[in-house]
Amino acid sequence: MNVPSADSVVQATNDDATVSRCSASQAGYFHDPFVSQLVRRPARRSPVINRGTYCRLVGLQNLIRQFLDACRNQQLPSQIVSLGAGFDTTYFLLKTDQKAPNHYFEVDFAETTAKKVMSIQRKSALKTILEDGWTTGNGGTELWSYDYTVIAGDLRGFETTVVPALERRGFDRTLPTLFLSECVLIYLDPTHSDAIIRWVSQHVPTAMFTTYEPIGPHDAFGQMMVQNLEMRRIELKGLLAYPDLASQQQRYYDLGWPSAQAMDMATLYAQLPPGELQRLMRIEILDELEEFNLFGRHYCIAWAWQSRTLPLLDPLTALDPSKPTPTRP
Ligand SMILES: C[S@@+](CC[C@H](N)C(=O)[O-])C[C@H]1O[C@@H](n2cnc3c(N)ncnc32)[C@H](O)[C@@H]1O
């Protein structure tokens, strides 16, 4: 029997993420007409998982859109670099809403980018979103256009191979840039994930960085989560190094960022406006609120920013320039 390599096991986590997003979208939690184009075998997830996917998407999309609004309000060009992007559809959603940054870059293993590039070429719902003049490269593993670029690369060689590849395709380190890593850095050894976060803090003066990661390995739920993943040979290499909200925030300070925050998904859910909670209950009843809160306390969004050009952002509220910037503890 062929045993899959550790890298192919990590690559397969993208299928889970995409099926979950498709499930929540088809149930009506949010509008994403693109994700179903990228799923071969859709499956319906439980209300707990759908709510979790919804919180993850709302939190990250709010940060992304506030970053883009801040740049637009100051008439600054902007870039987004999505690390381990998998089959994420954010570029297509932003483009449809006429909110896309000047350039949206995605990086993932060649095995994953090749499948995504192939789907984009085959599915007209995706292909028609691209601007004219796009082309594929590197044997069909990459897609290059003037505002959307998919690059094949291994994040463990971020500075030596990924950054030069990004720069060859137009990445400009002097522009305001949002780095996204959604359920990605957790699979890297902390030496590699720390190197990425440090490199950005040292080389991109107007940067923002966002991570979405599991936390809480020490309680019963966390141990079960780790065991379930181990049975599938999935190792969360960053979990013990950054096991809670405080260490997720501290990671950024230690790696050269002046401002950082972290929020778990149970907190985000509890702070949703009442009207939005009612809408979610109409989609499907959540009987297992305690189970959801336990689940939500084990996933967090952390975000950091470099410069005062970017005001304080928040995964829940609209941009509010009157809010004070939190200082380093
Ligand atoms: C759980 S999926 C998340 C995908 C996407 N960010 C999302 O949230 O839908 C993890 C992704 O990280 C990518 N990844 C993990 N380690 C990587 C590495 N060393 N280099 C490039 N991509 C990597 C995997 O291939 C996979 O697509």
- First CA to last CA across the chain, in angstroms? 52
Task: List all residues 6 or more positions away from 74 whose beta carbon is below 8 Å from its beta carbon.
Answer: 309
Any atom of ligand 1 within 6 Å of the Cβ of 84 = yes
Q: Is 146 inside a domain boundary?
A: yes
Q: Name residues whose C-beta falls within 8 Å of residue 238's C-beta, 6 or more positions apart in sequence.
A: 185, 186, 187, 188, 189, 190, 193, 213
Contact 196, 26 (CB under 8 A): no
pLDDT of residue 3: 72
Within-domain flag for 250: yes
Specify the residue with its C-alpha closest to ligand 1, atom 11.
84
Helix (H) / strand (E) element for 144: namely strand 142-144
What are the tokens at 96?
């449809």
**Exposed, middle or buried, 258 (CB in 10 Å: 0-12/13-18/19+)?**
middle
Query: CA-CA distance, 208 to 3, in Å (whole number)?
Result: 39
Both tokens of 279, joined, read 């809408």
Is the CB of 184 inside a 6 Å radius of any atom of ligand 1? yes
Q: Decide: 182 in ligand 1 pocket, CB within 6 A.
A: yes
Q: How many H helices and E strands in the chain?
A: 12, 9
- In three-state secondary structure terms, 242 is coil
Is 288 inside a domain boundary? Answer: yes
Of 266, 258, 262, nearest in space to 245 by CA: 262
Residue 154 lies in a domain: yes
Atom number, ligand 1, closest to the C-alpha of residue 17: 9
Q: Look at the pTM and tell me if it is higher than 0.80.
A: yes
The response to whether residue 112 sits with its C-beta less than 6 Å from ligand 1 reads yes
If DSSP codes are grouped into helix, strand and coil, which group holds residue 257?
coil
Query: For residue 217, what are its two tokens?
Result: 């390995």
φ, ψ for residue 299, nearest 5 deg: -140, 140
Question: How many angstroms separate the CA atoms of 76 and 322, rounded?
Answer: 20
Is 313 assigned to a binding site? no
Helix (H, G, I), strand (E, B) or coil at 181: strand
166 domain residue, yes or no: yes
How many domains, in total, are found in the chain?
Answer: 1
Positions of the chain with pLDDT under 70: 1, 308-312, 317-329
- 108-119 as b/e: b if 16+ CB within 10 A: bbbebbbbbbeb
Contact predicate 127/102, CB 8 Å? no
pLDDT score of 309: 64
DSSP per-residue letters across 16-74: HHHHHHHHHHHHTSS--TTGGGG-SS--PPPHHHHHHHHHHHHHHHHHHHHHHHHHHHT
CATH number at residue 52: 3.40.50.150
- Residue 285, judged by CB atoms within 10 A of its CB (0-12, 13-18, 19+), counts as exposed
> What distance in angstroms lies between residue 324's CA and the mean position of ligand 1's atoms?
34
Task: Identify the pLDDT of residue 315.
Answer: 74
- Give distance in angstroms: CA of 83 to centre of ligand 1: 7
Residue of 236, 222, 243, 212 lying closest to 295 (CA atoms): 222
Query: From the CB of 69, is ligand 1 less than 6 Å away?
Result: no
What is the rounded distance in angstroms from the CA atom of residue 304 to the CA atom of residue 282?
35
Task: Give the number of the atom of ligand 1 that is nearest the alpha carbon of residue 87.
Answer: 9
- Report if residue 22 sits inside a domain: yes
Residue 54 · residue 29 · CB < 8 Å = yes
pLDDT at 284: 95
Q: Is residue 325 part of a domain?
A: no
Within a domain: 324 = no
Cβ–ligand 1 contact at 85 (below 6 Å): yes
Residues of the domain holding 199: 6-316
Residue of minimum CA distance from atom 12 in ligand 1: 84
Q: Is 113 in the pocket of ligand 1 (CB under 6 A)?
A: no
State the DSSP string of 96-116.
HTT---SEEEEEE-HHHHHHH
User: Tens digits of per-residue pLDDT, 219-263?
Assistant: 999 999 999 999 999 999 999 999 999 999 999 999 999 999 999
Burial class of residue 16 in the structure, from the number of CB atoms within 10 Å of its CB (0-12 exposed, 13-18 middle, 19+ buried)? middle
DSSP secondary-structure letter at 188? S
